[in-house]
Amino acid sequence: MSENGINAGVGRYPSFYGPQGRLILVDSALEAVSRGSATIGIKTPKFALISSQIKPTRLLMEASEKIFTIDGHVGATGSGYIGDILQLIDTLRLEAQRHKVTFETPIDIDSLAKRLSTFLHSYTIYAVRPQAASVIIAGADQTGVQLYQVDPSGTFFRGSGFAIGQNSESALGVLEHSYSADMSVKQAIELSAKSIEKALGEKPVVETGIVMFADKQFKKLSKEQTD
């Protein structure tokens, strides 16, 4: 069989690259993420906030948890396949404790994002399914409040506002338009709700978590605190 025939890439080895030189499986994973629940991250110098839509799909069913404590000073959320998100959350938790066992200090958020990036990247170089989940990490360390987005390719971004999941472009549009570095926690909660509402076209049920620079403690907010 010819290497360049119509069957190129089909056979003993899977093809990673498409005709345009893109990683097909990674693109598919990103596509899966873009169908996930609307998820937001906002950072100011004083705090970082993560918020994700939860889907109580049936009357007698409890919705899946979407905001996760990684360690005392870090929290994360994600969008994509829940099973994949949970796997990534556990990786983050494990890396945080591994750092603590080795150095007896809390892990810094940059190192944590890089560890997750390495983990995700390993799924892009072998004949396996890349994780169909993007994760937003919010935490506080010696360098201040930090917010990261990590994608299935292993790419990670640091920034003040992120949106992932369904219609993330329009959610990000709202964030970019209304963001200001000196907004209060209350305003940030409202902004995240507004962004998610824009993405969904309806009032969402969300779960929210916050980390303040002052106490460096990540906390999940109760329903009363976000309403």
Q: Where do contacts with another protein occur on this chain (CB under 8 A)?
A: 68-71, 90, 93-94, 97-98, 100-101, 104
Is residue 108 within 8 A of residue 143, CB to CB? The reply is yes
Q: How far is the CB of 40 from another protein (least distance, A)?
A: 23
Q: Compare residues 71 and 151 and give the one whose CB is closer to another protein.
A: 71
Q: Residues with Cβ < 8 Å from 25, sequence gap 6 or more?
A: 16, 124, 129, 130
Q: How far is the CB of 86 from another protein (least distance, A)?
A: 10
Q: How far is the CB of 97 from another protein (least distance, A)?
A: 4
**How would you list the strands of the sheet with 161-164, edge to edge?**
161-164, 39-43, 47-53, 206-212, 218-221
Q: Compare residues 72 and 173 and give the one whose CB is closer to another protein.
A: 72
Amino acid at 34: S
Distance set, CA 197 to CA 38, 46, 105 (Å): 9, 25, 39
Q: How far is the CB of 101 from another protein (least distance, A)?
A: 5
Q: DSSP letter for 23, please.
A: B
What angle do the packed helices 109-122 and 82-103 form, to 10 degrees? 130
Residue 89 main-chain phi, psi, to 5 deg: -60, -45
Q: Compare residues 31 and 90 and give the one whose CB is closer to another protein.
A: 90
Q: Compare residues 68 and 156 and give the one whose CB is closer to another protein.
A: 68
Is residue 17 within 8 A of residue 145, CB to CB? The reply is no
Residue 160 main-chain phi, psi, to 5 deg: -105, -10
Q: How far is the CB of 178 from another protein (least distance, A)?
A: 33
Beta bridge partners of 209: 50, 220
Q: How far is the CB of 70 from another protein (least distance, A)?
A: 8
Q: Compare residues 65 and 110 and give the one whose CB is closer to another protein.
A: 65
Q: Compare residues 15 and 87 and give the one whose CB is closer to another protein.
A: 87
